[in-house]
Structure 1
Amino acid sequence: MHLHFTTNMYRETWMYGLPQASSEYVHKLKKFLKVAEDHRVHRGECYIWCPCKMCQNCKNIYDLDVIEEHLICEGFMNGYTCWSQHGELLIDHNTTYIESNYDDIDDSEDDIHDNLDDMLHDIEDNVPDRDYEKFQQLFEDVEKPIDKSLTELLGVIHEMIPESNELPISLYHAKKIMCAMDLEIERIHACSNDCMLYRNEQANLHECITCGRSRYLWKKQTKYNSDVTKNGPPTKLLLYFPIVPRLKRLFANPKDTELLRWHAGKRKTDGKMRHAAGAPQWKNIDHKFKEFGNEIQNLRFGLSADGINSFKHMRSSHNTWTVLLCIYNHLSWLCMKRKYIMMSLLIQGPKQPDNDTDVFLAPLIDDMKELWNSGVEVYDEFKKESFQLYAMIYCTISDFPAYANLFGYSTKGKKGMSSL
């Protein structure tokens, strides 16, 4: 829901016309702080820009009370009637909108959308009048598929900056530049009957050692090339996204690294279970594995697995399975943010793996064994030092059918767990 204001006169009256110690000013200041705090929560950040005359939106502050003190003592910076750094969108020169109902916003909203909003507003004031109408169309395109809006945005910026610049002019060219930063993906062939993965010592086999089915999709193939990559497409493919490189990149961001320490230093500890760190299971692990528990940045993952209909048709029988990892070191509401959920495995269909899911989990389990036994060296950008990172599967999240596939329990029928 957006509240419309045709002018900024109302804000100028109380922000700059009222005594800063008056009860009316403090009352309206509380409303501003509520908007700023809601915007911070929505963006998943741990700080708020301070708009006082001293800080002028150039200093981020973690304590809301400090910002309130600054604005009472110093007052607002000049001309800040459009709260652009605290959740307000400037759509045209005369009308502003405030994002006021954050409770209705889905926390899983794509973070790419948020970043595009930032890019649009950063350059808005520098758009020539002749291009302004075209530029405003980009705000509407933000709600559309990212490819079109980003390509148009790059075209507008390319015309604004000096000639002979090297800015990419399309999403395709931007992706080519960013390819060097891509993380590794392992494409692992699998038996069509879910018997085995062609990896490690079985990497060069042409047939399944259990059922004898061919590795390849070409059924009439009788002679095989010694190079398995030249024998046609596989009957089934597993995509594995190695988690160790992703964890290293996570700790390379000081903001994310600081958030991973939140459960130990900033969590309210009043005996009530407000976070997974307050659960008996967490405390038992710390007591039993003291070395693991002593390092507060050692990670505890929640593993979730389920099938999805990747073609969005109820009549389709094609089933793709995903295995996701969420990090429970984070704040409770950040654990389930798309930004901090790692997709580790993508098991292509057309059929679900059923009780053979453990076959496909093998690459992930190998990495988790390394993270538990020997750990991996990671650079902590927040503390500016390297340390040995350890991790574990803290819990699993699944419905009853997936529970049966993951652990082999009977969840249906006369003796199923669901009937207990």
Structure 2
Amino acid sequence: MPIDKSWMQKSRVSSEYHKGVLEFLDFAFSNAPGKEMLPCPCIRCNNCLIRKRETMYDHLLDNEIARNYVRWLMHGEYEFCEPTNTSTNESDMHDEMQEMLNDAFGMPMPNEESERRPHVHEEFEKPNEDANKFYNLLREVEQELYPRCKKFTKLSFIIRLFHMKCLNGWSNKSFTMLLELLKKAFLEGETLPSNYYETKKILCDFGLHYIKIDVCPSDCMLYSKEHANANECVVCGVSR
């Protein structure tokens, strides 16, 4: 069943919002077995700082969740919808991938009406770097993972695979080795990138990058902001 996210638009003092926060935390930490800390999606941390569950709970109630975080890619929402039937699933996934591309570039997506009226998109026909990148990435959204694959596009599979890498601490080398194995195993005509660096470039072009932040071994603090250059924990004194 699709995940109910209507609570995200409710008042943070409402019972619906409070229930939604608990369900979100259950969902996020059940999709990250063994992990005690995950990115916090409150409007202040904005998925840039990692927190324990109890701290994240307080943040989401005090600060509220970032309402534009509609796809929980950093908290285990690998696929964009449950497959009720193939045609609907493909259509929904395609639409949300295009919406992500629109968010990254701020450009509207071409459609049948605009194709009949080329002047509507005249500004995107100019040979500038942003427009070229936009249309190159649009082709990534359209691409099949391999011929006749119905469950994933190239991009949706890459996002899921890369999220697993981040959650489980795979090295860049092991990620490349997995890609090489999958490319041999998939049907002829597969469209996977060849290595970690090609994958990272695709995701960075979409704005899906992440920042690594050191944390105290005892989980006392993060080495960020005013403590970014510290060499030991200001709470317990343990060396960085």
Answer yes or no: same fold by TM over 0.5: no
* Larger proportion of helix: 2
TM-score by length of 2: 0.43
Larger radius of gyration: 1
